[in-house]
Chains A and B, each alone.
Chain A
């Protein structure tokens, strides 16, 4: 097997294995509120409850723990 064949096979095989494992994986670690500079108050018009990562009634897809609707962190980006 040539190097080119090996690297290609490794890429496809590794990717497939990782893909199967990843799609069947449990929910993963969320970020620490402190590490994301979370605070319970808004940053101007930017609030957790109008962020794309907001999960009603009081959670976030990315940040761990209870999240205030009026909160804010550095991961804020608006819902589209």
Chain B
């Protein structure tokens, strides 16, 4: 996915963004808007190279025969370091997402490279290197051309080393993940990197406020985490993230100043418990990320911006008959932030109050999906973001937004039976997002309602 040039500190005071918010928005407001933008452009991922490697049809690993929602087998494959192999494979895959988006009200002025409304775009085209090598190593790396921003960038990266053994008398997998986005290594589709919506666009506006863990650090950091998966039931993970050098990120196509550089290491932790429940697979988990950032990499204030993100998540997935699946994913995220550096630097407030940007956010996201005959999917996904008022941070002084997204999609060859070969697959779909509140306002919230028709090709 990469970062968007519209989401960063570098754009402070720039022209009105594609979100229809004017250039007077504060630095951190823009950063938070950037986080939301990244959420809105959450990547669509399916890796046919893994299907060839395992000899399994798409639907073995993915609900509905298309990524990224993982089945129990898909989770085991990922936690196992992508090492399961039954066939030689070409470890390269590709995908492309294009879409047409209509918003309830024209965006004025028109976003850069786009019309005010009814935009037909190539959202992204991506190339994957993906595979497992022997019993202990596997992973994937992704390179993306972002069609709206018109540039290449590195994208999701997850390289693993794994082994198996016993822990407390039970079978256990032990692994390391080197990755570039907190939660991209996760095996459940509740956390930000792989949560619903599985594909979205930068074309239409999205709420400005979002916790930092909602992809704002994606491709702007690197991290190493260690994990264990005990008795196929308990998952424990811990590690940390840091910021690569400015030149490195620039070279890789990410904005090095968005949202800033991490001071030291940002610790990340994750626990999850999975069990059978009502003939389905149930998961309950928690996650934590604590981050101290130098905003825009500016260290001159002597302070950092502090974010503490604590999350709870749960999922349940059940196969009905041979080809239908019902799944539910829900996540709650609580963030406390104190952006002292931004206040001290005068990026927020008037520069006299180092406590000018304390706030909390509470985010709920859920998604219930029914997949019929591994092809036709219907998803309903409500969401809510609430938090403390702060005129220095949030557009309109309030982070509150809520709404619901509905999606209908159709996958052509979930059983890998495409006439163009088993690696080729297409999903088409329609999404509609309706807002009840948008950046604190009820009035005119529905102006941001959006209909998106998309095609997603993987091969």
Contact = CB atoms under 8 A, between A and B. Distances in A.
B131 A26 contact: no
B303 interface: no
Contacts of A4: 152
Interface residues on A, range: 20 to 34
A31 B276 CA distance: 17
Contacts of A27: 85
Contacts of B131: 18-19, 22
A52 to B, nearest CB: 8
Contacts of A7: 143, 152, 154, 252-253
Interface stretch (B55-63, B96-104, B188-196, B306-314): B55-63
A22 B132 contact: yes
B298 interface: no
A18 B92 CA distance: 9
Interface string A28-44: 11111011110000000
Interface residues on B, range: 35 or more
Nearest to A13: B129
B91 A15 contact: yes
A7 to B, nearest CB: 5
A29 B80 contact: yes
Interface string B396-409: 00000000000000
Interface of A: 3-4, 6-8, 10-11, 14-15, 18-19, 21-23, 25-32, 34-37, 46, 53, 61-62, 74-75, 77
20 contacts: A3-B152, A4-B152, A7-B143, A7-B252, A10-B141, A11-B129, A15-B91, A19-B92, A23-B89, A25-B132, A29-B80, A30-B84, A31-B76, A31-B84, A32-B76, A34-B231, A35-B72, A62-B56, A75-B60, A77-B57
